[in-house]
Amino acid sequence: MKLWQKGEEIDKLFERFTIGDDPILDLEIAFYDVLASKTHARMLGKIGLLTGEEVEQLERGLDSLQAKIEKGQFTIEEGIEDCHSQIELELTRMLGEVGKKIHAGRSRNDQVLTALKLFTKDELKLIAKGIDQFFELLLEKSEANKDVLMPGYTHMQVAMPSSFGMWFGSYAESLTDDLILLKAAYEIADKNPLGSAAGYGASFPLDRDFTTKDLGFAHVNVNSAYAQMTRGKMEKVAGYAIAALASTLSKFAMDVCLYAGQNYGFFSFSPKYTTGSSIMPHKHNPDGFELVRAKCNKLQALPTELSFILTNLPGGYHRDLQVLKEHFIPSMKIVRDCLEVTYYMTKDLTVNDSIINDPKYSLLFTVEEVNKLVLAGTPFRDAYRQVAEKIGSGSYQPDYQLRHTHLGSIGNLGNDRIKAAFEEVYKFFK
């Protein structure tokens, strides 16, 4: 029996189709729906729609549902559409008449919005924590390897001297920008839609400032019709932040996979983070980084997937919005898993501290040669030609002595600045 059923029979195939994956996906947001239901009940008490005794009964009922969810024992029964319906059903089973009173002044449309925002806030906080952990590791590795040279490439061709310190630090700084997007996504999720009901408010004197404070939202989505419009918009913005982070992680994973191969030999893996081959006895494959690369490449489609679901939808609620959850909810855990496994795999990554001595990297130092002539008074273009001639005639000899001093160069990584910039954003999440 549905919350909305009025005596007519529903076709079974249609029922299964419309319920879709909600009985599984809603298990992720049921906890938040219980929190919001408690707040809603308290608010109804405050405005006189429930007695103090009724509010207490509902709170006790919701507490027991919360415990059930936390123990992993909460399920959505067959034919019960979603977590919102299941929670009301269980309250009514537990409390009778009182359970039937909780839905005054709300709709599943603002319930799902509220639960999703609370869920997203918690998830973004966890992601930020994972970013912080990985950032610290990258910066630590950058400092530890700041004097270890690494070949730098452009066009996949040997280019200029870089360092492992620069390489690790570059990904640390990338995470700072990803965190800025994450913070923006958090701020957009941090607005209370509860009380917008089906998307047009209600004729009860709902105290929306109370529910905002009680649920720990920083602000309220004021206009009820706009509150409804944030379904999808909030997810899309969080999706952009996740996609940015995923892009950093996938590029990082790609670098590692490439540079750990025998043709480069810049890194080696701890065997505990490699897999073997069923046929080739010598293999230690970087499957972990490869899966991070694939999953993170896939995550970059998230904002596009959400955008397509939302394409041309007018204002107001549409059942289309339910499908957003299929893409959005699992993505949170996927990106958290990728961050975590990347952290551990990177912790055990070993750098080859003598790679630069390989003769094929002598060309990395041609610009040094040009710059030495420039410092001695030769115009740059003339110096460039002189060195090119030496390379052409085979008389070029690399000088491994480097003179990089400017901010952000291998001789002056500026990691203190990178750290300060990160901390400035991360303090928001603390």
Contacts to ligand ARG by CB under 6 A: 22, 82, 108-109, 112, 317, 319, 321-322, 325
Taking the least distance from each CB to ligand ARG, the nearer of 176 and 322 is: 322
CA atoms within 13 A on the CB side of 52: 0
Q: Is residue 298 a contact partner of residue 307, using CB atoms and an 8 Å limit?
A: no
Cα–Cα distance measured from residue 176 to residue 42, given in angstroms and rounded to the nearest whole number: 40
Q: How far is the CB of 29 from ligand ARG (least distance, A)?
A: 9
CB of 120 to ligand ARG, least distance (A): 14
Cβ 349 to ligand ARG, closest distance in Å?
Answer: 42
Residue 82 CB, nearest approach to ligand ARG (Å) = 4
Q: Of the two residues 227 and 338, which places its CB atom closer to ligand ARG in the complex?
A: 227
| Least gap, CB of 6 to ligand ARG (angstroms) | 14
Q: Whose Cβ is closer to ligand ARG: residue 98's or residue 113's?
A: 113
* C-beta of 4 vs 278, nearer to ligand ARG: 4
In terms of C-beta density within 10 A (0-12 exposed, 13-18 middle, 19 or more buried), how is residue 159 classed? middle
Cβ proximity to ligand ARG, 86 vs 346, nearer residue:
86
Q: From CA 246, how far away is CA 256, in angstroms rounded? A: 15
- CB within 8 A of 173, min separation 6: which ones? 418, 421
Residue 34 neighbours by CB under 8 Å, 6+ apart:
62, 65, 66, 69, 87
Distance CA 226, CA 81 (A): 25
Minimal distance, residue 323 CB to ligand ARG, in Å: 9
Give the residues across from 351 on adjacent strands: 267
Using the minimum distance from each CB to ligand ARG, give the nearer residue, 108 or 295. 108
- Phi first, then psi: what are they for 285, rounded to 5°? -95, 145
Work out how close the CB of 214 gets to ligand ARG at its nearest, in angstroms, rounded to a whole number.
Answer: 22
The letter for the amino acid at 234 is M
Q: Which is nearer to ligand ARG, 236 or 325 (CB)?
A: 325
CA distance 256 to 158: 17
- Which residues have a Cβ under 8 Å from the Cβ of 227 and sit 6 or more positions away? 110, 113, 193, 195, 196, 199, 221
